[in-house]
A and B are shown apart, each in its own frame.
Chain A
Amino acid sequence: MIKNSIENLGSWIIVLLQNLGRIVIFFSQGIFYIFISPFQTKKIIEHTWFIGTKSMLVIIMTAIFTGMVLGLQGYYTLVRFGSEGMLGSAVAISLVRELGPVFCAIMITARAGSAMAAEIGMMRVSEQIDALETMNINPIRFTFSPRIVASIISFPLLTALFDVIGIFGGYIAGSLMLKINSGLYFYRVKESVVMADIIGGFIKSFVFALVVVTICCSQGFFTHLQNKGGFGAKGVSFSTTTAVVNSCVFILVCDYIITFFLV
């Protein structure tokens, strides 16, 4: 009984370390091949369009309602202390420091990250990745490297968009609906957000970009090595689910670690 438990624990640790090692090598190779010519400019533009531009609508929708909820909740909390004038600060700081990068990364994971995992997973099960190898085309360079660059470009820009739209959402709820002076709202926004907050937000979005793109692409790329789900449609669905869940968890873990060092 005890022997079995130790054996199971041991094999679990071995599998964990193998997976971790595989992802680290996958990530390192992906970064390395970004800088190897010929540069994949066309593919980078295509992926930036897919990850960035096509995610704009969902980011705008999420941001505006996040800002409005913050405006509503913030107002009814601050009004108890007679400091509803500080609503602009509360909304802006929450968004720029925390909610903007985190929510934005989670929404991109849901929209583009899942698609990346599924697409690469399908390429794996339909032997398209093997086909690349037979053509002497490095599959990591072909599938992963352009997506890294596209994510690094898209995440911070979408985060900035999320922040701006979110602050506007707070204005709709706070000023237009609850009649806080709009001049005061934007004055507080301007006064409270400093450059360090914005840089901190961008550092987070940069790290989240790497986390999401690595987890999602590696899950798809190694679909055939999944011991659950099998090698086929079920395997791809398992990889996609794992990619989204793991990305969301690691976004929050990384958020805590970065915040710990930035505060």
Chain B
Amino acid sequence: MKPPFIQFKNVKKSFGLNHVMQGINLSIYKGEITAIIGKSGCGKSVLLKHIIGLMNEDSGAILISGHNISNMKKKEKQEFRKKLSYMFQDNALFDFLNVYDNIALPLIEKSSFKKQEIKKRVMTKMDHLEIKDIEKKFPGELSGGMKKRVALARALVTEPDIVLFDEPTTGLDPIRKKNVHTMIKNYQKQFKFTGVIVSHEIPEIFEISQRIAMIDNGKIIFEGNPEQIKNNQTKKIHFFINPKE
């Protein structure tokens, strides 16, 4: 079996008396989409923030291609982050920039592309996400679904190696949800990025993910492929993915 690209080894994280991660062990493989599922507030977003380095673990280790993130030098961390993109749960769009500038920001600030090339890349992403006609609008003028798509366009515009999605389809209607899922799937096929998606969209998320991990009480209680989780008879897991039964 191929070695994991991102690996959590007994990672623990607490906020005061709230022990969010109580020894997380998780493997994420290159070129695959891994979906993280679990109840609200169980620490899924915290897990993502550990990968990108917005939070540091209390103990344990997070390895990227075998290298511990905590031991990386500043330059190494910066190089690693260049390959990463993060789509925030609440979008984190810049209120003072219009839609075009929001999407173009990572390219304007951190790439050597010329203005025309940046425009081409941004417009392509906007076209794919059906937001081409709102380029001059500000985030405050957009609906929740529109904001989500702008945030998604910003996450994908740099064509990163690893994309972390924090609930990318919350607030979207069923048709747009499907569009976003299809788009993530197609982009992943095209660019072969490694995706980690935190999602509550069950069972839709199983259609685009190669691996599923479920968190409960600060631990990973399931790790495997979508077929395995669908056939899993453990009470907790079965009821979580089939709540109507």
Asked if residues B95 and A130 are in contact (CB atoms below 8 Å), the reply is: no
Asked if residues B106 and A135 are in contact (CB atoms below 8 Å), the reply is: yes
Give the distance to chain A from B50, nearest Cβ to Cβ, in Å. Answer: 13
Which listed segment binds A: B30-38, B86-94, B219-227?
B86-94
Does B192 sit at the interface, judged by CB under 8 A? Answer: no
- Write out the residue numbers on chain A whose beta carbons fall within 8 Å of the beta carbon of B88: 127, 130-131
Asked if residues B94 and A128 are in contact (CB atoms below 8 Å), the reply is: yes
Does B52 sit at the interface, judged by CB under 8 A? Answer: yes
Given contacts A135-B110, A137-B109, contact A126 B81 (CB under 8 A): no
Name the contact of A135 in the complex, choosing from B93, B95, B96, B109 (C-beta under 8 A).
Answer: B109
Does B78 sit at the interface, judged by CB under 8 A? Answer: yes
Asked if residues A137 and B54 are in contact (CB atoms below 8 Å), the reply is: no
Asked if residues A134 and B105 are in contact (CB atoms below 8 Å), the reply is: no
Name the contact of B90 in the complex, choosing from A127, A133, A135, A137 (C-beta under 8 A).
Answer: A127
Most buried by A among B53, B109, B110: B109
- Write out the residue numbers on chain A whose beta carbons fall within 8 Å of the beta carbon of B158: 135
- Write out the residue numbers on chain A whose beta carbons fall within 8 Å of the beta carbon of B49: 130
Given contacts A122-B95, A126-B92, A128-B94, contact A134 B110 (CB under 8 A): no
Does B9 sit at the interface, judged by CB under 8 A? Answer: no
Does A227 sit at the interface, judged by CB under 8 A? Answer: no
Give the distance to chain A from B31, nearest Cβ to Cβ, in Å. Answer: 21
Does B215 sit at the interface, judged by CB under 8 A? Answer: no
Name the contact of A133 in the complex, choosing from B54, B94, B110 (C-beta under 8 A).
Answer: B54
- Write out the residue numbers on chain B whose beta carbons fall within 8 Å of the beta carbon of A5: none
Asked if residues B52 and A134 are in contact (CB atoms below 8 Å), the reply is: yes
Q: How many residues of A contact B (CB 8 A)?
A: 14
Q: In the docked arrangement, what's the CA distance between A137 and B109, Å? A: 7
Does A37 sit at the interface, judged by CB under 8 A? Answer: no
Please encode chain A, from 121 to 147, with 1 for each CB lying within 8 Å of some chain B CB and 0 for all others. Answer: 011001110110111110000100000
Does B196 sit at the interface, judged by CB under 8 A? Answer: no
Name the contact of B54 in the complex, choosing from A119, A128, A134 (C-beta under 8 A).
Answer: A134
Q: In the docked arrangement, what's the CA distance between A126 and B88, Å? A: 10
Q: In the docked arrangement, what's the CA distance between A211 and B148, Å? A: 38
Please report which residues of chain B, range 22-41, place their CB below 8 angstroms from some CB of chain A when the two chains form the complex: none
Asked if residues A128 and B92 are in contact (CB atoms below 8 Å), the reply is: yes
- Write out the residue numbers on chain B whose beta carbons fall within 8 Å of the beta carbon of A135: 105-106, 109-110, 158
- Write out the residue numbers on chain A whose beta carbons fall within 8 Å of the beta carbon of B94: 123, 128, 131
Does B209 sit at the interface, judged by CB under 8 A? Answer: no
* A130 to B, closest residue via Cβ: B54
Asked if residues B95 and A134 are in contact (CB atoms below 8 Å), the reply is: no
Give the distance to chain A from B66, nearest Cβ to Cβ, in Å. Answer: 22
* A131 to B, closest residue via Cβ: B92
* A40 to B, closest residue via Cβ: B109
Most buried by B among A128, A133, A134, A137: A134
Q: In the docked arrangement, what's the CA distance between A131 and B102, Å? A: 11
* A125 to B, closest residue via Cβ: B90
Asked if residues A136 and B54 are in contact (CB atoms below 8 Å), the reply is: no
Asked if residues B78 and A134 are in contact (CB atoms below 8 Å), the reply is: no
Please report which residues of chain B, range 142-185, place their CB below 8 angstroms from some CB of chain A when the two chains form the complex: 158
Name the contact of B84 in the complex, choosing from A131, A134, A142 (C-beta under 8 A).
Answer: A134
Asked if residues A137 and B106 are in contact (CB atoms below 8 Å), the reply is: yes
Q: In the docked arrangement, what's the CA distance between A135 and B164, Å? A: 12
Give the distance to chain A from B167, nearest Cβ to Cβ, in Å. Answer: 13
- Write out the residue numbers on chain A whose beta carbons fall within 8 Å of the beta carbon of B194: none
- Write out the residue numbers on chain A whose beta carbons fall within 8 Å of the beta carbon of B53: 133
Does B85 sit at the interface, judged by CB under 8 A? Answer: yes
- Write out the residue numbers on chain A whose beta carbons fall within 8 Å of the beta carbon of B86: 131, 134
* A127 to B, closest residue via Cβ: B92
* A133 to B, closest residue via Cβ: B54
Please encode chain B, from 101 to 124, with 1 for each CB lying within 8 Å of some chain A CB and 0 for all others. Answer: 000011001100000000000000
Asked if residues A137 and B110 are in contact (CB atoms below 8 Å), the reply is: yes
Does B200 sit at the interface, judged by CB under 8 A? Answer: no
- Write out the residue numbers on chain B whose beta carbons fall within 8 Å of the beta carbon of A122: 95
Does B132 sit at the interface, judged by CB under 8 A? Answer: no
10 A–B contact pairs at CB < 8 A? Answer: A126-B95, A127-B88, A127-B92, A134-B81, A134-B84, A134-B85, A136-B78, A136-B82, A137-B106, A137-B109
- When A and B form their complex, which 4 residue pairs have the shortest distance between CB atoms, in order from nearest? A131-B92, A134-B86, A127-B92, A135-B106
Apart from A130-B54, A134-B81, A135-B105, list 8 A-B contacts with CB within 8 A: A126-B90, A126-B92, A127-B90, A127-B92, A128-B95, A134-B54, A134-B85, A135-B110
